[in-house]
Amino acid sequence: MAKLQLAVVTAEGESFSGEVDMVVAPGGLGEFTVLPSHARMISSLDPGILRFDQSGESVSLALSGGFLEVSDNRVTVLADAAERDDAIDVERAEAALVRAQERLASTEADIDLERAMAAVRRARVRVNLGRRRRDRVVQ
């Protein structure tokens, strides 16, 4: 069966590189799936979970947004930040979510509302993915 070559790149460097069976991404217009022989495309990515299957194992990364390009069975993700589910400290992520929600609820006139909302979305993604991983490990 054909494979995809996936590269996830952030400002800090390459977060993942390898052969995968499929990729599910949080596109700007909704979640979409990329399979081998997919048509060429470029999409914006919203904060969300990037999932891919590699050798029968499902892997999840928390993305804070970015772009995805598909071309000739190569998928390149340029992300603002990418974090594997097993690297998320759930308590720290929950504390960041509380801080972001408090900032959003603030009545200060100089708050950048768009930035505050983006921080809440990013924090929610990390908390949800971290909790999902923690709950799977506990069971």
- Domains located in the chain, CATH noted: 4-85 (2.60.15.10), 88-138 (1.20.5.440)
CB neighbour burial string for 31-67, b if at least 16 within 10 angstroms, e if fewer: ebebeeebeeeebebbbbbbbbebeeeebbbbbbbbe
- What is the average pLDDT score of the chain? 88
Average pLDDT over residues 62-84: 94
Q: How confident is the model at residue 138 (pLDDT cuts 50, 70, 90)?
A: low
Strand 13-20 to strand 41-45: parallel, antiparallel, or no bridges (unpaired)? Answer: unpaired
pLDDT in tens, 74-94: 999 999 889 888 888 888 888
Average pLDDT over residues 5-17: 93
